[in-house]
Each structure stands twice: as C-alpha cells, then as structure tokens.
Amino acid sequence: MVSAIQVINALSSGKSLLVFDLIAAKGGDRKSIINSLGLTPKQYNSAISSLR
C-alpha cells in the first residue's frame, strides 16, 4: 500500500508534477509529453517511475 508521504514525495519533484499535470489535462503519448515539456527520455522515465 502506498502511503500519503510516498505520494507527496513523488509529486514534489518538479518534473514529475509537470508530467502528471500534462497527462491529467491532455493524456498523450510519451513522445508528445517529452516534446511538450522539453524533457530527455531519461528525465521522463524517471518522472514516470516515481509516479508509479
């Protein structure tokens, strides 16, 4: 079970929060999110991993 602290920690990362917000607002695929936010694939993967 995921604790509230783990959720807050995952969203406290600026990039993770941006990815989360973009997915919530528009959905979208990996490539469009990376391009929209100017992330590298590694940054995207790290953000998604922390959100999971």
Neighbours of 34 (CB within 10 A): 17
Name every residue whose Cβ is closer than 8 Å to that of residue 18 and which is 6 or more positions away in sequence: 37, 47
Give residue 52's pLDDT. Answer: 84
Span 11-50, pLDDT tens digits: 787 888 899 899 999 887 899 999 999 999 999 999 998 8
Give residue 8's pLDDT. Answer: 86
Per-residue CA distances from 14 to 1, 3, 35, 51 (Å): 24, 20, 16, 12
**CA 13 distance to own-chain centroid:** 9
pLDDT at 51 over 90: no
Query: Per-domain residue ranges for the chain?
Result: 4-51
Beta strands per DSSP E along 1-52: none
